[in-house]
């Protein structure tokens, strides 16, 4: 097995706010229904406030970058099956052993054996990527609600303290049977505080940081959470602040570099 020396040169730390332009629904894994509750509740923290899990945000950014960089090709897609709420589900994601892969380099590769799809019929072979596995560069924190972003005026028109309920009626096109459902959403106008860290190894320079900015721009023109094709989950990044902390900054031998704040992603510049 080969060995590549990995040296940490520094970290980019990005603080920003995620503003909801339309209602957001990120569901909970629980399958219980409280009396008087809604069919599709949003995920909440221990204080009963909705939040955006870092795993959901990172997964969406990765998916967008896989499509953007044409990474979902035969021989480079890992397939897995999982159990969820009593049913089966599946995940297809890019994974390869190329050292310069911008997606694997930024979002990471998983250890162990994976089923890699080998043709359009879904055949696969088992592969490991132990030779290419390295520390994941991107860290995505949970994004927590900024309470003040939900105004008293908004609360007057909401169903709960932090969320609204949207009634929908799905119609079966064949039988015409109606399936009314209640979906809980965080309302448009609410804002979440988010944090990203991009580790800089060896001579990475700024390419992985710039790749994250690209992913964030793609997300603004896509959606976060569920039911995006129905108008849910349009977001915008605002009040963006960036710090670069070199190795010597952690030793107190140099100052960190601070950039921003920027009102939008298009304004971000590092000097």
Mean pLDDT per 10-residue interval, the chain, length 271 residues? 73 97 85 56 94 96 95 76 53 80 89 74 74 86 97 91 84 67 91 97 85 98 93 97 94 92 95 74
Residues in the chain: 271
Strands (E), the chain: 8-20, 51-52, 77-84, 87-94, 113-117, 124-128, 138-140, 143-145, 164-171, 178-185, 191-201, 235-246, 257-262
Which pTM does this prediction carry? Answer: 0.86
Q: Quote the tokens at residue 112.
A: 């162990």
Sequence ranges of the domains in the chain: 8-70+134-267
Q: What pLDDT was estimated at residue 32?
A: 47
CA–chain centroid gap for 161, Å, is 25
Q: What pLDDT was estimated at residue 35?
A: 42
């Amino acid at each position: 097995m080969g060995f590549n020396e990995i040296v940490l040169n520094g970290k980019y730390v990005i603080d920003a706010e995620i503003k909801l332009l339309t209602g957001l629904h990120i569901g909970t894994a629980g399958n219980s229904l409280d009396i008087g509750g809604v069919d599709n509740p949003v995920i909440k923290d221990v204080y009963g406030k909705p939040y955006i899990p870092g795993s959901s945000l990172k997964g969406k950014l990765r998916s967008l970058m896989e499509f953007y960089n044409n990474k979902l090709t035969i021989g480079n897609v890992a397939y897995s099956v999982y159990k969820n709420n009593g049913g089966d589900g599946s995940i297809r994601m890019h994974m390869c052993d190329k050292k310069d892969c911008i997606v694997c380099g930024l979002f990471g590769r998983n250890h162990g054996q994976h089923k890699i799809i080998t043709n359009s019929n879904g055949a696969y072979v088992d592969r490991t990527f132990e030779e290419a596995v390295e520390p994941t560069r991107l860290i995505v924190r949970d994004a927590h609600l900024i309470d003040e972003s939900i105004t008293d005026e908004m609360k007057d028109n909401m169903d709960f303290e932090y969320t609204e309920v949207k009634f929908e009626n799905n119609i079966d096109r064949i039988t015409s049977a109606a399936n009314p459902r209640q979906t809980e959403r965080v309302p448009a106008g609410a804002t979440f505080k988010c944090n990203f860290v991009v580790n800089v190894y060896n001579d990475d320079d700024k390419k992985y940081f710039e790749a994250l900015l690209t992913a964030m721009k793609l997300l603004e023109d896509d959606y976060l959470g569920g039911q995006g094709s129905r108008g849910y989950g349009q977001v915008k990044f605002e009040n963006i602040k960036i710090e670069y902390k070199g190795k010597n900054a952690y030793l107190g031998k140099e100052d960190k570099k601070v950039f921003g704040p920027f009102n939008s992603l298009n304004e971000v510049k590092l000097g």
